Each structure stands twice: as structure tokens, then as C-alpha cells.
């Protein structure tokens, strides 16, 4: 129903216009399975090229009509309360990147070869406490480090300018802390981005890392569910370089719709997803060591607070 205005306009371009329902069904089938265009065409009794056209028509309609409505921050206080209940205060999201395998592009191919030696495109995502995407950035070649993707994203700029989240500071010890996001060691430590301690760890640092990683797991789980439902993301996409980012974004929109409607996630899907994913292991990202003095003070204050809470239990 949401897509019909956009898809109706395209009827004139399709010779024998397929119904909107059938076009949406073809697109969903193609995205949800690792099937080839030919096998999807046979499934629906249409030509192979019709599948290609239908998938991209539906994908463009979803990006135009739903992306900005569905992949959005929502109620920040609810997110902060959600992460707080998991053990991390004043947290507005968890960030990570994941590699989507692609066929080697004709030009600049080497740019797309990642550290595990296959061609890929990077999806960077920020998720809320429930694993719904609140911000995505897609399209960077697989060779590019997560931190560079991040620094060049609109999300980084808006966090840096303090305009992504509402201004809700809390005091930890004697330090003011803004709403933060959580990342792995590949990300820069910033006053608004907390990441784990690396190197030699004492019990206080281990406790801090434990709390942080417990909350950061939601983004890894979100990627697992995204790829488990939309298994076309697990095999090398046969789409063109310009269409792949659109389709990845579409799968993120569909993920949020499924998650917010409480759509069941079948156990068997994860087994199948893991089997497909085994061919394309995720590259390890190198840790970044640059950090700001304010960020270090906030992290130290949180470490002390977690330690004292531990003592009070």
C-alpha cells in the first residue's frame, strides 16, 4: 500500500504491467533468497529481465518513500533507557561496519578487495537498543577501513557538531558526558564515542569493556538478523555497482519493518545464513589509537563508576 503511488507511475514503462503485489513479491523473494534471476523468474512465471526490472523498481520506491521514515532515530530517551537497562548510561546507539560480498567491478576492482581477499562493499550502521537501524551509510569499497568510512560519513559530522542527538549531558564523577555511541577498537575514542580499552587490562578495565561489549552486541546481532532474513546479502550480488548500495539500503528498511512489527525470526534462517556466510568471513579491523583528552576523562570516569556500582551490589 505504501509503495503503490510510486509503482503505479511506473506501470506505463512495463509492457504488460505486472500487478504491484506481484512486483513487490518478486523483489522480496529475490532479496530474501540467494536465488539467481533465472530461478526467481521460473518461480513467478515471468522473464528473467522482468525480475531485474521489478526488483529495482520496488527498491527505488522503498528508498524514495520509506528510507527516511523507517531508518531514523526515533525517541532518544527510550533508546537511552534501553541501553541503561543493559548497563551503559547515556548511550544513544551502537555502531559497526559489515562487509557485503559483491562480484569484482570492471574498473577500480582492487579498491573493493578487503583484508579477507574478496570483493565487498561496506555497510556502516548505527542501531538502537533493540537492533533497529537508526542511521546507515553504504557504498564504500571493501578496502577502506571502518574508521575512514565513519570519518567521511554525515553521521560523524553531525555527532561532532552535537546535532545528531538532543543535548542531554549527565555527570559521571566530576565529568560531563554527552549522549554517546559505542564502537569497537576500530573507531576513534571521542567524547561522544566510547570504545573498549585495549592492551593490558586490569579488572576495572575488564569490567568497563564487559559493559560496553554487552551493549555493543546489539549491532552484531542486528547484522546477523539482517543477513538471516535477506540472504541475498550473503552471496556475491550480481547487481551493478550503482544498484548494490540501493538494495543494501532497502534490506535495512525491510529489517526495521520486520523488527518493529515483531516479525518472527526462524532459527533455521540463522543456520542457513551462517552456512552462506562461511564463504565470506568478515575482515578484522585494525584498532585506532588516536583519542581526545576529554574522551579519555569520560571513559575513566565511567570505568570508576562501573567499579563502584559493582562494589555496591
Over its length of 313 residues, how does the chain's per-residue pLDDT go in tens digits? Answer: 999 888 887 666 555 568 899 999 999 999 999 898 999 999 999 999 999 999 999 999 999 999 999 999 999 999 999 999 999 999 999 999 999 999 888 777 899 999 999 999 999 999 999 999 999 999 999 999 999 999 999 999 999 999 999 999 999 999 999 999 999 999 999 999 999 999 999 999 999 999 999 999 999 999 999 999 999 999 988 788 889 999 999 999 999 999 999 998 988 888 888 898 899 999 988 787 777 899 999 999 999 999 998 877 6
| Residue that the C-alpha cell 521460473 belongs to | 42
Provide the pLDDT for residue 220: 95
3 state DSSP class of 99: strand
Provide the pLDDT for residue 313: 64
| Residue that the C-alpha cell 550473503 belongs to | 234
Cβ 66 vs Cβ 253: under 8 Å: yes
Q: Are strands 120-127 and 91-101 parallel, antiparallel or unpaired?
A: antiparallel
Enumerate the H helices of the chain as residue ranges. Answer: 4-9, 20-32, 37-44, 48-65, 67-70, 76-86, 146-151, 154-160, 203-229, 243-260, 267-277, 293-312
Q: What share of the chain is helix, strand, coil (3-state, %, to 5)?
A: 50, 15, 35
Q: What is the rounded CA–CA span in Å between residue 213 and residue 254?
A: 26
Amino acid at each position: 500500500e505504501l509503495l503503490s503511488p510510486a509503482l503505479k507511475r511506473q506501470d506505463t514503462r512495463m509492457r504488460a504491467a505486472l500487478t504491484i503485489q506481484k512486483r513487490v513479491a518478486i523483489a522480496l523473494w529475490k532479496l530474501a533468497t540467494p536465488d539467481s534471476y533465472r530461478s526467481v523468474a521460473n518461480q513467478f512465471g515471468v522473464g528473467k529481465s522482468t525480475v531485474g526490472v521489478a526488483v529495482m523498481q520496488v527498491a527505488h520506491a522503498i528508498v524514495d518513500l520509506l528510507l527516511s521514515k523507517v531508518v531514523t532515530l526515533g525517541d532518544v530517551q527510550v533508546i537511552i533507557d534501553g541501553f541503561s537497562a543493559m548497563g551503559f548510561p547515556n548511550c544513544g546507539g551502537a555502531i559497526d561496519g559489515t562487509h557485503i560480498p559483491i562480484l569484482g567491478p570492471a574498473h577500480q576492482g582492487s579498491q573493493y578487495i578487503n583484508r579477507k581477499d574478496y570483493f565487498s562493499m561496506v555497510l556502516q550502521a548505527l542501531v538502537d537498543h533493540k537492533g533497529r537501524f537508526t542511521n546507515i551509510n553504504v557504498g564504500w569499497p571493501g578496502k577502506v577501513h571502518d574508521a575512514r568510512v565513519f570519518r567521511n560519513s554525515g553521521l560523524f559530522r553531525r555527532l561532532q557538531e552535537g546535532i545528531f542527538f538532543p543535548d542531554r549531558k549527565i555527570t559521571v564523577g566530576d565529568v560531563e558526558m554527552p549522549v554517546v555511541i559505542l564502537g569497537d577498537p576500530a573507531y576513534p575514542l571521542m567524547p561522544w564515542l566510547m570504545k573498549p580499552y585495549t592492551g593490558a587490562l586490569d579488572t576495572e578495565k575488564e569490567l568497563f569493556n564487559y559493559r560496553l561489549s554487552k551493549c555493543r552486541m546489539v549491532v552484531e546481532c542486528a547484522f546477523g538478523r539482517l543477513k538471516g532474513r535477506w540472504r541475498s546479502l550473503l552471496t556475491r550480488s550480481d547487481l551493478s555497482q550503482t544498484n548494490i548500495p540501493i538494495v543494501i539500503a532497502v534490506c535495512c528498511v525491510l529489517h526495521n519493518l520486520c523488527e518493529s512489527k515483531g516479525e518472527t525470526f526462524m532459527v533455521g534462517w540463522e543456520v542457513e545464513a551462517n552456512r552462506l556466510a562461511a564463504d565470506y568471513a568478515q575482515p578484522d579491523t585494525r584498532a585506532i589509537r588516536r583519542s581526545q583528552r576529554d574522551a579519555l576523562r569520560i571513559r575513566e570516569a565511567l570505568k570508576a563508576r562501573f567499579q563502584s556500582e559493582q562494589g555496591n551490589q
